[in-house]
Amino acid sequence: MPRDGARTSPLGRYDGPPMTLGDMRENGVRTLDAWCLGRDCHHHRTLDVDAMPDDVAVPSIGPRLRCGRCGRLGADARPNWSEYRAAGAWRRNEDRKGQGHDHAY
């Protein structure tokens, strides 16, 4: 197991608990990017999830989304990491390294 406590599968993929909206917010990200999974649709939206509770798992949101263009139920929803870079959150995390505040990303 890596020193930071993150677990990986034999294929090298993370297999720990899913990211929650609270985890995402701690990293300075307040919205989700969502893409429709409908055939030939691929509609994209950025969703404000501030009204949702912190304990909601990010992977649980996509299957409940309905596309506003084609009406299909189900989307690929992920943290909008461009907010993380835009807000300089990576810089704040670099400044905190070695102070007991490191997080596995």
User: DSSP states of 21-69 as a string?
Assistant: HHHHHHTT--EEEEEE-STTT--EEEEE-TTS-TT-BGGGTGGG-B-TT
Distance CA 36, CA 74 (A): 7
pLDDT score at 83 = 87
Classify residue 59: in a domain, yes or no. Answer: yes
pLDDT score at 86 = 62
Classify residue 11: in a domain, yes or no. Answer: no
Radius of gyration of the chain (CA): 16
pLDDT score at 95 = 52
Classify residue 66: in a domain, yes or no. Answer: yes
Tokens of 14: 């993370």
Distance CA 41, CA 47 (A): 18
pTM for the whole structure:
0.69
The parent domain of residue 56 ranges over 21-81
Give me the tens of pLDDT residue by residue for the chain, a chain 105 residues long.
444 455 656 777 878 899 999 999 999 999 999 999 999 998 999 999 999 999 999 999 999 999 999 999 999 999 999 987 665 655 555 554 444 443 333
Classify residue 12: in a domain, yes or no. Answer: no
Is the C-alpha dihedral spanning 92, 98, 103, 105 positive or negative? positive
pLDDT score at 102 = 38
Classify residue 45: in a domain, yes or no. Answer: yes
Number of separate domains in the chain:
1
Helix (H/G/I), strand (E/B), else coil: 83: helix
pLDDT score at 74 = 95
Residue 93 sits at φ, ψ, to 5 deg, of: -70, -35
Classify residue 29: in a domain, yes or no. Answer: yes
Classify residue 92: in a domain, yes or no. Answer: no
